[in-house]
Structure 1
Amino acid sequence: MRDPGVRGAVQPKAMQQLRLVVDGDAALPETTRLVAPHVGAVTNRWRLEPLFADGGAPPYLIIAEVDEVVGTREYARQAHTLVQQLLGVPGLHQVEADVPVNGYQTPEAAPAFAGEVDLDGTEQLRWARDAIHCERAWQLTPEPGGRSHGEGILIGHPDSGYTDHWGLGLEALVLDSAWDAISDDSDAADPLVPPEQSPWPMPNPGHGTSTASVIVGRGSEALGVVGVAPRAKLVPIRATESVVQLFDSDVARSVDHARRAGCHIVSMSLGGKGFFGLRRCIQRAVESGMIIAAAAGNKVGFVVAPASYDNCLAVAATGFGDSLWEGSSRGSAVDVAAPGWSVHVAAFEWSQQPPGRLVRRSSGTSYAVAHLAGAAALWLAHHGLDTLQAAYGEAAIQAAFVHVLGQSSRRPQVWDSNNWGVGIVDAAALLAAPLPDPDSVLATVGAFSAMDDPVDRLSALLAGVDPGELRDALSARLGLSGSALDAALRRFEGELAYLLLEESDFRESLLAAARPGAFPPGPIIVPTSASPHLESLLG
């Protein structure tokens, strides 16, 4: 395990990495030859490698060292300009920049809402478990071949890594399968660099331990955190040093690692811009029989990726008494809600060195998705993996789970299903609900697929925006229609997604066009971080 604070305040090399993902017809050597003139004009410090570890086929990941620092406008502009240059190379079908965004905020980094801290009614350590009727679920007799408390289920957990915290318990972790996507080694320990020493924006050290404690915590009922699935096991994967700003390629590789490690669920308490390789690896995981879920986002006006993808379950956050957390992202991309407001979690005291261990209340959709992941583990164990695979095959297990969620989730008397999903997770009702007819489930499998339409992806990032209205707005603003519009949206999909998340003026100008009458009419704002190619269309 790493010693706390080993990285100190040293700026990691990753902060000046430029990453692009390319897909095409050629194998690695030929693709290297094709991209070399363009990448070499930017820097002579670069490499091309397969995005996924189980073969040398595309997509490939370009990792280049540049002078610009991640998060600056100059960095984003350089990345998007290089994308457009590579899209002109014959044999390359798809190219997208993996550009971290600042849109996803942790609760600690943004202004607090009234009543957010220590919400009344949440004094008991177990209140959130009680809210999803966890104890009742544990008391149910498993189906033949099934088990209780999530026993036998393995959960992949891309986050900031793990620590030895009595509120989590090392016995809950499968360290033989752990992985650090940042350093590419098997040590997924969180170095616990104090927030004031980290070079990353809005760092959240210990976050992986906090979210893992909600899923599989082995703490005591009196002092610690008892997870929703306290007999399940968790594979810690260190994928980020800040859940605010991250490389989606590290997340993609983490999901793929969880698949290869035999995990049955992936729980992601993080979010970013996303890119086609992340969508593709999630699709492979779903088709292999896994349930994939992610946090909807905190204190922003959109659902972050990968939660915004059709093939990933997006989870919004609620509080005591089925109250809706004001800080939760919401919108049509949200699938379900779960407790995330003033939840007791394993945490750290940064005034001490090494950091002290404690349990405290915290808020975020990070904990909402953790509750869903625990409930999913209970459901898989209750029915038994063999039974579910025999009934639905591997590719339809997530579809079956979503079907049962829709039938069993609790809907308060006043519930906005257009923005908060099918309801609030009810673990007992989930386990007690009958399994759906396989034919009806198989008919819905296509709904859980990687988004192929750029407008669907972009509209998922904007709460309450109809894809048709957004398409009309983009058509009007770009002065294109029909096949010409389709080609432009495909070409600039990743860049537009970045701008919608990162450039509030650009986002509001598009919203004005997509919602006639909502805002005064006016010209679209041309962001300075756009590539010259997109600027020529917008200008």
Structure 2
Amino acid sequence: MLVRHVHVPALAILLLALPAAASFGNIAALFPSDGPEDCEWHLRAIRVDRAWALLERVGRGLGEGVVVGVPDTGYVVHPEVPIAVGATGGVALEGSWDFVHRLGPARDDLQPHDGLVSTSAHAVGLMSLLLSPRGKASGTEGRCGASGVAPASRIVPAVVSHGVIAGARPLAQAIHQATERGVHIIAIAQGMPQADADLHAAVRDAVQRGVIVIAAAGNGTPFVVYPAAFPEVIAVAATDVEDAPFPFTSNGPELDIAAPGARVYAAFLRRDVLSSALHTEVRTLFGTTPATAQVAGVAALWLAYHGRAELLERYGAARLASLFRHLLQRSARRPARYRATMMGAGIVDAEALLLAPLPHVDEVP
């Protein structure tokens, strides 16, 4: 959802009043685009820089070999979101699919479809926070670059909507396809207010087959949206630069973890009103979309650090997501006055997660 110059209290009412709650994922450009002087504050907040050092010490790439499914609005060309070439990290378009238009590959058509609820290029911000290399890419406008958590990982996109409100059928189909293609993580910044049996079945099947499913809790709703609310899914809330809850983050007992989701620098596309020219920018994004991207990136680092094949051999596919959730929550950083009952176990700590001892198989919930 892209809205500019909206009074914040009015916005809160707007988000709650719109049918199905207008914004379930990223709130971009709702606030001034200037951000913290530290372009990578979010990485330090979740100690990704320290986790990178651990991976480098053992000779593992930053998410290398890990494949992340991103069912969203699809891929669009942006300097901060590289295409995978050979074995490098990046977006893999081959075999990707548009479940809305029933064609491939999964490219964002960048057209507004649903008025206020439509968020063209929504996925580009999420993808950049997963795999954008450090620093500012050539051709990017703005002071900062987008720094992804797991730049050596690979993304397989799918188009399931033109914004942040998912249709249950295309999302379920995309999850099934991603599972069949052998993705290791599915990052979902889409949502809906009600549970859907087919969508739940797709999530359960993915988790049983060793896929870690991570989803945004939502923004502006007094409840955690689906699929994040399904018990098999790792539900993510958003925090700000002070480790406090982002004001519009949805919260509830279904939440598992939180991550930075306010004033996070990420890829952004702006269309010039007069010339229709597209500007590839990096701006501060707000909401549970950037938070979800970071947790998915941390999951990729964890799989790369321990080796997914070794984890599967030791614990089995059906236990892998539970193992990750267990260690993610136990290693989380909990600031003073943190509301764990409504915001999850704490803020993700990538370094502590990688250093957390692997439990005996019988100790996995």
Query: Are residues 119 and 225 of structure 1, via their aligned partners in 2, closer, same or farther at CA, if it must alter by over 3 Å?
Result: closer
Counterpart position of 2:7: none
Query: Are residues 416 and 296 of structure 1, via their aligned partners in 2, closer, same or farther at CA, if it must alter by over 3 Å?
Result: same
1:134 aligns with 2:48: yes
| CA offset digits 1:241-270 (Å, max 9, x no partner) | 1213x3111110111111011100000011
Secondary structure in 2 matching 1:345: strand
Q: Quote the Cα distance in structure 1 between the aligned partners of 2:66 and 2:91.
A: 12
Q: How many residues align?
A: 334
Counterpart position of 1:405: 328
Counterpart position of 1:374: 297
| CA offset digits 1:400-452 (Å, max 9, x no partner) | 101111221100021111001010001111111111211111xx2xxxxxxxx
Counterpart position of 2:87: none
| CA offset digits 1:356-408 (Å, max 9, x no partner) | 11100010101111110000000001000121011110000001101111221
Counterpart position of 2:123: 208
Q: 2:67, 2:156 within 8 Å by CA — same for their partners in 1?
A: yes
Secondary structure in 1 matching 2:195: coil
- After TM superposition, the structure 1 = structure 2 runs for residues 461-472 of structure 1, keeping only pairs within 5 Å, are none
- After TM superposition, the structure 1 = structure 2 runs for residues 312-461 of structure 1, keeping only pairs within 5 Å, are 312-351=233-272, 352-441=275-364, 444=365
- After TM superposition, the structure 1 = structure 2 runs for residues 225-244 of structure 1, keeping only pairs within 5 Å, are 225-244=146-165
Deviation at 1:143? 9.2
Q: Quote the Cα distance in structure 2 between the aligned partners of 1:350 and 1:362.
A: 17
Amino acid across the alignment from 1:174: A
Secondary structure in 1 matching 2:71: strand
Counterpart position of 1:248: 168
Q: Percent identity?
A: 35
Counterpart position of 2:96: 178
1:103 aligns with 2:103: no
Which of these two proteins has the greater Rg computed from alpha carbons? 1
Counterpart position of 2:210: 289
Counterpart position of 1:148: 61
Q: 1:143, 1:382 within 8 Å by CA — same for their partners in 2?
A: no
| TM-score under structure 2 length normalisation | 0.86
Q: Quote the Cα distance in structure 2 between the aligned partners of 1:436 and 1:108.
A: 35
Q: 2:25, 2:190 within 8 Å by CA — same for their partners in 1?
A: no
Q: 1:336, 1:420 within 8 Å by CA — same for their partners in 2?
A: yes
Query: Are residues 127 and 253 of structure 1, via their aligned partners in 2, closer, same or farther at CA, if it must alter by over 3 Å?
Result: same
Q: 1:293, 1:313 within 8 Å by CA — same for their partners in 2?
A: yes
1:169 aligns with 2:90: no
1:275 aligns with 2:196: yes
Runs of 5+ consecutive residues of structure 1 not aligned to the other structure? 1-99, 445-539
Q: 1:209, 1:346 within 8 Å by CA — same for their partners in 2?
A: yes
Q: 2:24, 2:190 within 8 Å by CA — same for their partners in 1?
A: no
Amino acid across the alignment from 1:336: I
Q: Quote the Cα distance in structure 2 between the aligned partners of 1:180 and 1:434.
A: 40
Q: Quote the Cα distance in structure 1 between the aligned partners of 2:37 and 2:343.
A: 25
Deviation at 1:224? 2.2
Runs of 5+ consecutive residues of structure 2 not aligned to the other structure? 1-17, 85-89, 138-143
Range with bigger deviation, 148-157 or 222-231: 222-231
Q: 1:152, 1:233 within 8 Å by CA — same for their partners in 2?
A: yes
Structure (1 or 2) with the greater helix fraction: 1
Q: Quote the Cα distance in structure 2 between the aligned partners of 1:323 and 1:107.
A: 18
| CA offset digits 1:5-54 (Å, max 9, x no partner) | xxxxxxxxxxxxxxxxxxxxxxxxxxxxxxxxxxxxxxxxxxxxxxxxxx
Secondary structure in 2 matching 1:140: helix
Q: Quote the Cα distance in structure 1 between the aligned partners of 2:317 and 2:169.
A: 25
RMSD of aligned residue pairs (Cα, Å): 2.2
Amino acid across the alignment from 2:129: V
Counterpart position of 1:265: 185
| CA offset digits 1:293-331 (Å, max 9, x no partner) | 110000111110000110111100011131220110001
Q: 1:225, 1:346 within 8 Å by CA — same for their partners in 2?
A: yes
Deviation at 1:333? 0.7
